[in-house]
Amino acid sequence: MKVVDDHVEVDETEASGGVKGHNVRYVLAFSLIAGVIVLSAIWIIPVLLQP
């Protein structure tokens, strides 16, 4: 990190505060699929149980 005039300049490594990789896309995909299944079950099961 270096100060230039009245602002601070950082390189790409310093600017990236988040974790990259670590199979984040798989966690997001699994969460999305699980959410769709749970919400669908909440909607479908009561409809099937009605007389």
Q: What does the DSSP assignment read for the chain? A: -EEETTEEE--HHHH--SPP-TTHHHHHHHHHHHHHHHHHHHHHHHHHH--
pLDDT surpassing 80 at residue 23: yes
The strand pair at 7-9 and 2-4 is best described as: antiparallel
Check: CB of residue 2 under 8 Å from CB of residue 8: yes
More confident call, 28 vs 17 = 28
What pLDDT sits at residue 24?
Answer: 84
| Residue 1's pLDDT band (cuts 50, 70, 90) | low
Mean pLDDT of 2-31: 82
Q: What amino acid occupies position 47? A: V
